[in-house]
Amino acid sequence: MDFTFTEEQNMLVDTAERFVSKEYGFETRNRIIGSEAGMSKAVWQGLADLGLLALLVPEEEGGLNAGPVETMLVMSALGKGLLVEPYLSSAVMSTRAIAALAGAEQRAEWLEQMLAGTLIVAFAHDEHGARHDPLAVETRAVRIGDGYLLDGRKSVIRHASQAGMLLISARVDDGIALFAVDRDTPGVRLATYPSVDGARAADVFLEQVYLPESRRLGQGDSSDTLLAVLDTGLAALCGEALGVLQRSLDTTIEYARTRKQFGVQIGKFQALQHRMADMLIHVEQARSMTYLAAVRVLDNDAARRAAALSAAKVVVGEACRFVGQQGVQIHGGMGVTDELDISHCFKRLFAIEKTFGSALDHLDRYRRTLAA
């Protein structure tokens, strides 16, 4: 048993945390989420310059080939900054999918640009009404000549409007395949909107989108890889949650230490002390399950892996809700304003709880494994 991190891993945390605290202050972030693009190219380039976009890129393509523990640590550091840039979608999930499925030429072309920061790839899998049933894909790719025609709709795709390329899952004759679709391909239409946490998302409508064979990743049914990529994303998201949870707890404790009512710091009131103690318990339970997720995400037994990850999402999701809600509550009126950290943390925690399935969705999934 060993819960310590290696020196390299600690350095990685340092690098990411220093970048966030230096380049991603509250005001800067507000400017970014209020901007037309909803992200900062400079920040993205900064992440590239630090090598953080190369984290999951294989060594042959010049990457660090790091694993889920490193991913968790970096995501947690970025979570502390409430980063709205497409790290999870592009640098984690899309990179992982390309590394797992793409042919040599495709990898060379895409990964080089991705780790340099010049190409953002949005992972576009979720569909309207699928409720995170991971293989409920209705978007179809029909073979035509030496290519495919794609029709369908991808729903609430984070960063779609910021991406040069979308990785789209679609049903083919022999299962599910992933396709690389440039955002400006004819037949691709985006309905873009802000997400509750300040990031941008879109519904992606695909109508008779023609793609040559070279735009398909891998051959045969890619469902297993798709599940592994989704699980990688879920484990990484738990890592991000940890960062946001910690920031929420820290900022709440700080507020309780400074805010006075009835002549004393409100942190002296036992009712609030116990509440903050419960917040800490939620954060630590979430941390434990995030570690579990980071270890089990490499399990080749998909069912066992899925059960562990669902269990993690239940604990992390409930922590997101409790810590977010109580953090706002303890801040009183100030907690509901746009002016302090805590409401921004609250909204990101809300979004995390809803991403890749809510705590209740995953409780349902886990429940179904009991009788199996």
Partner 1 sequence: MDLNFTTEDQTFREEVRSFLRDHLPSGVRHKVLNGTHLDRDDYLAWQRALHARGWGGPSWPAEFGGTGWTPVQQYIFDEACAEAGAPRLVPFGLKMVAPVIMAFGNKAQHDRFLPPILAGTEWWCQGYSEPGAGSDLASLKTRAVRDGDHYVVNGQKTWTTLGQYADWIFCLVRTDPEAKPQRGISFLLIDMKSPGITVRPIITMDGLHEVNEVWLEDVRVPAENLIGEENKGWTYAKFLLGHERTNIAGIGIAKRELARLKRIATCETRHGQPLLQDPLFSAEVARVEIDLMALEITNLRVLSAEAENRAPGPEASILKIKGSEIQQRLLELMTEAIGPQALPFDRDAMAAGYQGDYPLAAYARTPTWQYLNLRKLTIYGGSNEIQRNIISQMILGL
Residue 201 touches partner 1, criterion: CB under 8 A = yes
Query: Quick check: helix, strand or coil at residue 156?
Result: strand
Q: Does 270 bind partner 1 (CB under 8 A)?
A: no
Rounded CA-CA distance 360/225 in Å is 25
Rounded CA gap, 236 and 297, in Å? 10
Which of these segments, 73-81, 240-248, 280-288, 349-357, binds partner 1 (CB under 8 A)?
Answer: 349-357
Q: How far is the CB of 107 from partner 1 (least distance, A)?
A: 30
- Considering the complex, state which of residue 38 and residue 68 has its C-beta at the smaller distance from partner 1: 38
**Counting contacts by CB under 8 A, is residue 203 touching partner 1?**
yes
Q: Binding to partner 1 by residue 318, rule CB under 8 A?
A: no
Tell me if 273 contacts partner 1 by CB under 8 A: no
The reply on whether position 155 binds partner 1 by CB under 8 A is yes
Of 41, 193, 207, 304, which lies in the binding site for partner 1, with binding defined by CB under 8 A? 193
Q: CB–CB of 243/77 below 8 Å?
A: yes
71 with 91: CB under 8 angstroms?
no
As a whole number of angstroms, the distance between CA 96 and CA 55 comes to 10
Q: Is 160 in the site for partner 1 (CB under 8 A)?
A: no
133 three-state secondary structure: coil
> Rounded CA gap, 372 and 207, in Å?
40
Does position 129 interact with partner 1 (CB under 8 A)? The reply is: yes
Q: 352: closest CA among 250, 194, 279, 243?
A: 243
Q: How far apart are CA 127 and CA 117, in angstroms?
A: 27
N-terminal to C-terminal alpha carbon distance within the chain:
29
Q: At what angle do helices 41-49 and 7-23 cross, to 10 degrees?
A: 160
- Of 333, 370, 371, 372, the residue at the interface with partner 1 (CB under 8 A) is 333
- Selected from 261, 301, 370, 372, the binder of partner 1 by CB under 8 A is 261
Provide the minimum distance between the beta carbon of 19 and partner 1 in the complex, in angstroms, as a whole number. 26
Min CB(18)–partner 1 separation in Å: 28
Cα distances from 9 to residues 14, 63, 73, 74, in angstroms, run: 9, 16, 8, 9
> Which residue stretch of 49-57, 105-113, 287-295, 337-345 sits at the interface with partner 1 (rule: CB under 8 A)?
337-345
- Spatial contact of 252 and 279, defined as CB atoms under 8 Å apart: yes
Cβ distance 110 to 77 under 8 Å? no
Choice from 142, 253, 272, 298 touching partner 1 (CB under 8 A): 272
Question: For the chain, what is the radius of gyration of the CA atoms?
Answer: 21
**Residue 132 binds partner 1 (CB under 8 A):** yes
- Based on the shown chain and the rule CB under 8 A, indicate whether residue 338 belongs to the binding site for partner 1: yes
Which listed range, 38-46, 66-74, 77-85, 355-363, lies at the site for partner 1 (CB under 8 A)?
355-363
- DSSP letter at 91 equals I
- Is 369 among the residues that bind partner 1 (CB under 8 A)? no
- Residues that bind partner 1 (rule: CB under 8 A) add up to a total of 49
For the CB of residue 38, give the shortest distance to partner 1 in the complex, in Å.
Answer: 12
Is residue 278 close enough to count as binding partner 1 by CB under 8 A?
no
Q: How far is the CB of 216 from partner 1 (least distance, A)?
A: 26
Piece in contact with partner 1 (CB under 8 A), picked from 76-84, 138-146, 281-289, 341-349: 341-349
Nearer Cβ to partner 1 (3/262): 262
How far, in Å, CA of 107 to CA of 110, rounded?
A: 5
Contact between 304 and partner 1 (CB under 8 A)? no
Rounded to 10 degrees, the C-alpha dihedral 216/218/223/226 comes to -80
| Residue 244 token pair | 């946001």
Give the footprint of partner 1 on this chain (CB under 8 A).
126, 128-129, 131-133, 153, 155-156, 191, 193-197, 201, 203, 260-263, 269, 271-272, 321, 325, 328-329, 332-333, 335-339, 343-344, 346-347, 350-351, 354-355, 358, 360-361, 363-364, 367
